[in-house]
Amino acid sequence: MRDKIFWIDLEPAIGAEMKKTRPCLVISPDEMNNSLKTVMIAPITKNERDIPTRVKILANKSSKLKENSFVALDQIKTIDKTRIGDLIGKISPTESQEISDVLVEMFQK
């Protein structure tokens, strides 16, 4: 499940939280995903912002996104698995490593 992109309904959202049903990337490790009823996700947006917690992912056959997008690691949340909708696609190993590197940087400070 990790590194896969799913449709997820993020409502209800409050304030600056990303809203609506949108593509989201599962970032929690499969060891957790296989034993818990929740997963950690990061929403995906088409809007580019010049902040280091937004990681670009490419629109291609693997991701199945319609256009290049950005994983918003500054908007990580834990959701119940019942919120998970249809599978869209998955990210590349290179994109996965870049996301892991940013997460390490975020939480080491």
Domain extents in the chain:
4-108
Tell whether the model's pLDDT for residue 109 goes beyond 80. no
- 60, 67 in Cβ contact below 8 A? no
Q: What value does the mean pLDDT of the chain take?
A: 97
Question: Which fold, 4-108?
Answer: SH3 type barrels. (2.30.30)
- Write out pLDDT tens, residues 46-98: 999 999 999 999 999 999 999 999 999 999 999 999 999 999 999 999 999 99
Tell whether the model's pLDDT for residue 100 goes beyond 80. yes
Tell whether the model's pLDDT for residue 29 goes beyond 90. yes
Classified as helix, coil or strand, 3 is coil
| Count of positions (residues) in the chain | 109
pLDDT band with cut points at 50, 70 and 90 for residue 19: very high
CA distance to 8, 61, 78, 92, per residue, from 82 (Å):
10, 26, 12, 25
